[in-house]
Amino acid sequence: MLGDDNMYVASVLHRMGLVCSGTEDSEYHALGYFNECLSIRKSLLGGNDLLVADTLYASAVVLSRLNRYESSMERYHEALRIQMAASQDSNEVARTLSGKSPFLSAPPELVLALITFSKLQTSHTQAWECVTAVTG
């Protein structure tokens, strides 16, 4: 019988997260699956395994879609740290960097405004007014 701290369970949770991600109404379910998977993988493999980085990356994408930019960036950075430690020339590093590209090309003021408003949980109207004011 499979226990909660089993790599097969973690793999199934990761795949369930992938299936749910990209579906507008299921992003929160996807994030839950990825968080459960991440917990299992970290407990079994430690915090420096490429499978952990894979789940961090997938959850960062979902967090970005949910407009939780600061949490998304934290997970992108953690995934990148793991990937860079494993190999400087890996495809995973390139994928993670390309996933971060919207943040890298945005003006720092815009990113700061988005992070600030996600923290304050202001209304979309207030956030849009601020973004418009910053970007002109």
Query: CATH no. for residue 46?
Result: 1.25.40.10
Question: Do 72 and 46 belong to one domain?
Answer: yes
Question: Do 80 and 135 belong to one domain?
Answer: no
Tell me, yes or no, whether 1 lies in a domain. no
- Helices 27-45 and 50-65 pack at an angle, to 10 degrees, of 160
**pLDDT top residue among 24 and 37:** 37
Going by pLDDT thresholds of 50, 70 and 90, the confidence category of residue 46 is very high
Instruction: Specify whether the CB–CB gap between 43 and 5 falls below 8 A.
Output: yes
Tell me, yes or no, whether 98 lies in a domain. yes
Question: Do 95 and 111 belong to one domain?
Answer: no
Q: How far is residue 48's CA from residue 31's CA, in Å, rounded to a whole number?
A: 20
Which of 127, 95, 124, 94 is CA-nearest to residue 113?
127
The DSSP code for 25 is G
Tell me, yes or no, whether 67 lies in a domain. yes
Q: How far is residue 72's CA from residue 80's CA, in Å, rounded to a whole number?
A: 12
Total structural domains within the chain? 2
Question: Do 85 and 133 belong to one domain?
Answer: no
Question: Do 77 and 12 belong to one domain?
Answer: yes
Which of 45, 13, 43 is CA-nearest to residue 31?
13
Average pLDDT, the chain: 76
Q: Tell me the whole-structure pTM to 2 decimals.
A: 0.68
Question: Do 61 and 125 belong to one domain?
Answer: no
3-state secondary structure string across 102-133: HHHHCCHHHHHHHHHHHHHCCCHHHHHHHHHH
Question: Do 110 and 98 belong to one domain?
Answer: no
Q: Mean pLDDT over residues 91-120, rounded? A: 54
What residues make up the domain containing 39?
7-102
Question: Do 91 and 122 belong to one domain?
Answer: no
**Interval 101-113: pLDDT, tens:** 445 445 555 555 5
Q: Mean pLDDT over residues 81-85, rounded? A: 85
Question: Do 68 and 126 belong to one domain?
Answer: no
Q: What was the pLDDT predicted at 104?
A: 47
Question: Do 13 and 51 belong to one domain?
Answer: yes
The DSSP code for 90 is -
The Cβ of residue 72 has, within 10 Å, a number of other Cβ atoms equal to 23
Question: Do 113 and 80 belong to one domain?
Answer: no
Q: What was the pLDDT predicted at 36?
A: 95
Q: How far is residue 49's CA from residue 63's CA, in Å, rounded to a whole number?
A: 21
